[in-house]
Amino acid sequence: MCAPPAPEGSSTPTSSTPTPAAAAAPPGRVVLDAHDIARALSRISHEILERNKGADDLVLLGIPSRGVPLAHRIAERIAAVEGEAVPVGSLDITMYRDDLRMKPARALLPTEIPAGGVDGKTVVLVDDVLFSGRTIRAALDALGDIGRPRAVRLAVLVDRGHRELPIRADFVGKNLPTSLVERVRVTLAGIDDEDAVTIHGPAVPEVTE
């Protein structure tokens, strides 16, 4: 009975890009295919384990919508390596966004905190694209209202640069230098048709009002 996540410009935390019109978008350049994504996630999983010296006290929190399946995939890989399941959840940041007042009220996405909570744990936030850093700022605020983790780390599939806040990722699938007019689109099987990361050039000239 949970909300079906409204399709949203997950890779664009700020107002610069409109919601991608999936059907109308021109075919972009594929930067990562399904195999690349799988390899990147495997590497991230190992890096998380290495940094944490094992899977103890780890909690993975995906940021909806596409951070959540990524968090589950990382958890599967960690379980395969370490043999123990890592708690996975999701953290909706809608109400903590700094641009909440600039658009009509958005639908909320699911927040599910694993039963053990986050107090004293090492929380790894998982998102698809790191861009301005504003989403992560909001996520840190949201997390602070839920508990007090011992440490918070950030894992992203793609870091496209153009930070607007002093935030960096601990684990990065791929650094992707982009121009501000380009759009990065992450599709994941389960939500979308297939696994891919694509870059779309400056699309049809947007009519800015």
14 binds other proteins (CB under 8 A): yes
Closer Cβ to other proteins, 8 or 82, answer by number: 8
Q: Does 192 bind other proteins (CB under 8 A)?
A: no
Residue whose CB is less far from other proteins, 95 or 167 = 95
- Closer CB to other proteins, residue 18 or residue 54? 18
Q: Is 177 in the site for other proteins (CB under 8 A)?
A: no
Tokens of 137: 């700022």
Binding of other proteins by 184 (CB under 8 A): no
The sign one gets for the Cα dihedral 185, 199, 41, 116 is negative
Neighbours of 165 (CB within 10 A): 12
Q: Considering beta carbons, is residue 83 or 205 the nearer one to other proteins?
A: 205
Q: Give the one residue of 83, 145, 204, 207 binding other proteins; rule: CB under 8 A.
A: 145
Cα–Cα distance measured from residue 122 to residue 126, given in angstroms and rounded to the nearest whole number: 13
Q: Considering only residues 37 through 66, tell me which ones interact with other proteins, judged by CB under 8 A.
A: none
| Of the residues 29, 39, 51, 106, which one makes contact with other proteins according to CB under 8 A | 106
| Dihedral sign, Cα of residue 68, residue 5, residue 107, residue 8 | positive
Residue 104 makes contact with other proteins by CB under 8 A: yes
- Check binding of 96 to other proteins (CB under 8 A): yes
Of 81, 108, 140, 203, which lies in the binding site for other proteins, with binding defined by CB under 8 A? Answer: 108
Nearer to other proteins, 56 or 119 (CB): 119
Find residue 199's DSSP bridge partners.
Answer: 29, 184
How many of the chain's residues bind other proteins (CB under 8 A)?
Answer: 27
**Which of residues 77 and 137 has its CB atom nearest to other proteins in the complex?**
137
Residue 204, phi then psi, degrees to nearest 5: -50, 130
Interface segment toward other proteins; rule CB under 8 A; list 30-38, 50-58, 90-98, 186-194: 90-98
Residues within the interface to other proteins (CB under 8 A): 1-4, 14-15, 92, 95-96, 99-111, 113, 141, 145-147
